[in-house]
Amino acid sequence: MTKEVILKSTEGLHASLAVKLVKAAEKYAVDIDLHYKDKVVDLKSILGLMSLAIPKGENVRIVATGQKAAEAIEDIKKVLK
């Protein structure tokens, strides 16, 4: 399952937002990645997320596979808004 989202955080993808994303992703036994431009990182990796340095207003794509992929994506979307 794939969903595109606009990062609305006023500071972009900063450390505290990355921590929230990892915590939300870790609740699910699914493979979940964040795609930004030509980069793909595991949403359960704080270092991977921080390496993206995504500014405010950018489009990102969440890709999840597994039984609760849709539920995981919805939780991640809530954190990104």
Q: Is residue 46 over pLDDT 90?
A: yes
Q: What is this structure's pTM?
A: 0.91
| pLDDT more than 70, % of the chain | 100
Average pLDDT taken over every residue of the chain: 94
List, for residues 15-40, the tens digit of each pLDDT value.
Answer: 999 999 999 999 999 999 999 999 99
Helix (H) or strand (E) segment spanning residue 2: strand 2-6
pLDDT of residue 39: 97
Q: Which residues are catalytic?
A: 14
Q: Is residue 68 over pLDDT 90?
A: yes
Superfamily of domain 2-80: HPr-like (3.30.1340.10)
The domains of the chain are located at 2-80
